[in-house]
Amino acid sequence: MGKPKFYDFCVHAAPDGDNTAPELASFARHLGYSGIALANHSDKLPDKKPVLPSIEGFEVFQGIELVEENPSKLNSLIGKFRNSMDVLIVHGGSEAVNRAALENPRVDILNHPAFDRSSGLNQVLAKAAAENGVAIGITLRPLLHFRGFRRIRLLSDLKANLELARKYEVSLVLCSDAVSCFDLRSPMETIALAEVCGLEEDEALNAISTVPERILQKNRLGPGYIREGIEVLEGEDLF
């Protein structure tokens, strides 16, 4: 087994965040990531399709974080953006949105599902998430910035979700949700923080490397892909 590759799947570049995409990408590379996904909020998209910065030995993926209160509009947004995006994140925050996101297998990640006094997940939704392969995003930025009461709330929500995720085998994704270079943390620190917050070491490692890789594999289809279940494979030692 080689060195794991680390990915950060929720980074907001300008105009959603403070820093531009190339700045974020080069800083993430310096911190030891193998790739990031630029996932701006869908209500703050730039006018034209941004050009992804290309840096040697580092991958930048096109992502989006959908913000929509209405579940049926959310579903149509998912349909609209799905094919052009490597990573599709839904910004949760109400019962209806969480449910719509977790019941849609075309969604990759549900971020900050917590609302009012609920952690955002329950047994039914966790089961749906596991069936549809939607991962729950653990965002770092609020954990870093808040102190005291608000962080305690965040942590108890996180632990409630973690317990459900373990029970129903829902995958987790650790992401920074960075709006500036100063919100990015290196993979090792992210894992350390996740462990202090209650994840096991292998869970944290999976959440930052293998689960993102699996999402990419699912969305980046090989050159011979025709439709679900049919793929033209080339090469000599296939059989």
Decide whether 124 or 188 has the Cβ nearer to another protein: 188
Contacts (CB under 8 A) with another protein, residues 168-187: 180-186
Contacts (Cβ under 8 Å, ≥6 apart) of 223: none
| Contact call for residue 31 and another protein (CB under 8 A) | yes
Cα–Cα distances in angstroms (integers) from residue 37 to residues 13, 33, 198, in the given order: 10, 11, 25
Residue 178 forms beta bridges with which residues?
Answer: 11
* Measured CA distances, 216 to 35, 59, 63, 158 (Å): 11, 11, 11, 25
Nearest to another protein of 31, 172 (CB atom): 31
| 44: its two tokens | 């703050």
Query: Shortest distance, CB of residue 147 to another protein, whole angstroms?
Result: 5
Nearer to another protein, 100 or 154 (CB): 154
x/- map, 190-209, another protein, by CB under 8 A: x-xx-xxx------------
Peptide bond between residue 15 and the one before it cis (omega within 30 degrees of 0): yes
Nearer to another protein, 41 or 151 (CB): 151
φ, ψ dihedrals at 217, nearest 5°: -60, -40
Shorter beta-carbon distance to another protein: residue 30 or 44: 30
> Rule CB under 8 A: is residue 227 a binding residue for another protein?
no
58 with 34: CB under 8 angstroms? Answer: yes
Q: Does 89 bind another protein (CB under 8 A)?
A: no
Q: Which residues in this chain contact another protein in the complex, by CB under 8 A?
A: 30-31, 143-145, 147-148, 151, 180-186, 188-190, 192-193, 195-197
